[in-house]
Amino acid sequence: AKRGGRGAAGRQDTPHGLRIAAIDIGTNSLHMVIVEVTPNLSFRILSSDKDLTNLGEAALVEGVLSAGAIAQTLEALGRYQRIAASLGVDVVLAYATSAVRESANGGALVEAAKARLGMAVQVISAREEAHLIYLGVRSAVDLSPVDVPRRGGAGSPRQDAALILDIGGGSAEFIV
């Protein structure tokens, strides 16, 4: 339903009235982007932030998240939550990837985020991570066929698949 007039934080509401904060809890860093849904169902970026946490530093060697890295990550998540609240965010989506997924105590971070911040963190599979990366690339890059010169002849449209490679701090996703 359309919320007219001014909403939270004195903002002009969109016809959909939706602001979303998306948080990526990665192996080396946290990223947050806050968007507002536009009338044409696109989005406008309102804010973005990044913190280096080295969450996976111990996890890659010892298979566990260090207490210090967990504390630093929770501090950054709390700051993100305050930023989101100041911008009148309606929904916070937090996703954890490789370091949390593969460490023996990754659940401790998820539980602490819920207990201390009231933030639900979803640990996603490598397959879901690759799917989300694909969707992000597809929204930012034209993946349609291009003219490719062939030996001894003119170019022709190619229907080949695209290869997308995401090299993260704790994993690499190949998406075809």
Per-residue model confidence as pLDDT tens digits over 89-130: 999 999 998 889 989 999 999 999 999 999 999 999 988 988
For residue range 123-169, list pLDDT tens digits in order: 999 889 888 887 888 777 877 776 666 666 555 555 567 777 777 76
Q: Is the pTM of this model over 0.85?
A: no
Query: In this structure, are strands 91-96 and 121-123 parallel, antiparallel, or unpaired?
Result: parallel
Residue 64, C-beta contacts closer than 8 angstroms, at least 6 positions apart: 58, 103, 104, 105
